[in-house]
Structure 1
Amino acid sequence: MSELSLPTRPLNPPAMAPGGDDLAAAARGDRRAFERVYREHADRVFALCVRMLGDRVAAEEATQDVFVRVWEKLPGFRGDAAFGTWLHRVAVNVVLTRRKSAGSRDGRIAEDDALEQAPSRPEAVGDRLDLEGAIAALPRGARTVFVLHDVQGFTHEEIGEQLGISPGGSKAQLHRARMLLRAALTR
């Protein structure tokens, strides 16, 4: 990951859980402490972004957006949930916002992506065994639900709230994702 450029902000430290020395210092505006927080969590955020977006370059940009948002919002982090949980929520929201804006720029409706078909070209033997590649090849809606449910552990109700779909729609997308993955990995 490249160097992170952070905007300036006022110093309003949030309440922190024990052991959150770097978080508390970062919330007070300490850029070095925030750099340590960034280094500790960037790989995990990037992995989530690449799984949800299916594109490493877009995931790198989204990861940067996540940490800029975290820098701006950290003073408001109350510590009601674990920092990792809060960070995960910020990352999911950033990815979903990016996808919505990309869909409107392209003149598409995001829900139309759920109707996409899996790629029909045959894959090389090495690619068939590549789970990350298979996940990236899923249609956007199916990929998002798969990552949120099977990788990140969200319930269908939570996914429905985040994506603005019903729990039944989430279950249908998950079933579709699993069927497409099974087909892609057994070819």
Structure 2
Amino acid sequence: MNQAAPPLDAATDSLNQDVRLAQQGDKRAFARLYRQLSPRVYALCLRLSGRVTCAEEATQEVFIRLWQKLPQYRFEARFTTWLHRLTLNHTLNYLKAQPQLTELTQADQESHQEMESLNLVDRLLPRLPARARQVFVLHAIEGYRHHEVAELLEIKPGTSKAQYHRARQLLQEMLS
């Protein structure tokens, strides 16, 4: 007896429907995608950059890029997986293009309330050196393997492991 494949859940159906409509130029569908997915995109951008202003800018640029690339999405992987990869690639490229700023901007300083809503590790991430933070986020939080992290950041796998252990050590010191 052949069983039919179980139906996709309503949220996935709704998301895929909005993706299809947005691919056809429907701006309302794209706005729904933005409302639904921007918090996840922003969280990844914030974790990678450690700076509210960078995360806000990168998030906006990711959605601009998404609008441009949406026609290329072919439903071969989950849309959220595809968007995650787009976000990751764009944010890493964005960070490479940014000068290394040492002083916090006023907007970063004013984000104290927002940072208080994050868990303790998320609040400590901005205090890590940029590369160690990026490796830690990709490996420990996003689940990438060291060889994948190395490829994404254009470093050697051994460097990824060393930066990850450095980040863990620094976080442990901050927590003590």
- TM-score calculated relative to the size of structure 1: 0.74
1:31 aligns with 2:21: no
2:145 counterpart (140, 152, 155): 155
* Aligned counterpart, 2:36: 40
Q: C-alpha deviations, 1:16-56, integer Å up to 9, x for none?
A: xx721000000110000001111111001101111110111
Looking at structure 1, the residues matched to 167 and 129 of structure 2 have their Cα atoms a distance apart, in angstroms, of 8
Q: C-alpha deviations, 1:32-81, integer Å up to 9, x for none?
A: 00011111110011011111101111101110000110110000011222
Using the TM superposition, give the Cα deviation of residue 143 of structure 1 relative to its aligned residue in structure 2, in angstroms: 0.3
Using the TM superposition, give the Cα deviation of residue 131 of structure 1 relative to its aligned residue in structure 2, in angstroms: 2.1
Looking at structure 1, the residues matched to 55 and 133 of structure 2 have their Cα atoms a distance apart, in angstroms, of 14
* Aligned counterpart, 2:85: 89
Looking at structure 2, the residues matched to 85 and 150 of structure 1 have their Cα atoms a distance apart, in angstroms, of 17
Using the TM superposition, give the Cα deviation of residue 86 of structure 1 relative to its aligned residue in structure 2, in angstroms: 0.9
Looking at structure 1, the residues matched to 153 and 146 of structure 2 have their Cα atoms a distance apart, in angstroms, of 10
Report SS of the residue matched to 1:72. Answer: helix
Using the TM superposition, give the Cα deviation of residue 133 of structure 1 relative to its aligned residue in structure 2, in angstroms: 2.3
Structure 1 segments of 4+ aligned residues over 4 angstroms from their partners: none
Q: CA RMSD in A?
A: 1.8
1:168 aligns with 2:164: no
2:136 counterpart (132, 146, 155): 146
Looking at structure 1, the residues matched to 156 and 75 of structure 2 have their Cα atoms a distance apart, in angstroms, of 29
1:61 aligns with 2:57: yes
| Letter paired with 1:78 | R
Identity, % of aligned positions: 47
| Letter paired with 1:88 | H
1:74 aligns with 2:70: yes
- Name stretches of at least 5 consecutive residues in structure 2 with no aligned partner: 1-11, 102-115
* Aligned counterpart, 2:175: 185
Looking at structure 2, the residues matched to 135 and 101 of structure 1 have their Cα atoms a distance apart, in angstroms, of 20
* Aligned counterpart, 2:9: none
- Structure with the largest fraction of helix: 2
Using the TM superposition, give the Cα deviation of residue 185 of structure 1 relative to its aligned residue in structure 2, in angstroms: 1.2
Looking at structure 2, the residues matched to 183 and 79 of structure 1 have their Cα atoms a distance apart, in angstroms, of 44
Most deviating of 138-147 and 91-100: 91-100
Looking at structure 2, the residues matched to 161 and 64 of structure 1 have their Cα atoms a distance apart, in angstroms, of 25
Superposed, 1:9-20 pairs within 5 Å as 19=13, 20=16
- Name stretches of at least 5 consecutive residues in structure 1 with no aligned partner: 1-17, 109-125
Looking at structure 1, the residues matched to 161 and 175 of structure 2 have their Cα atoms a distance apart, in angstroms, of 21
1:102 aligns with 2:102: no
Report SS of the residue matched to 2:98. Answer: helix
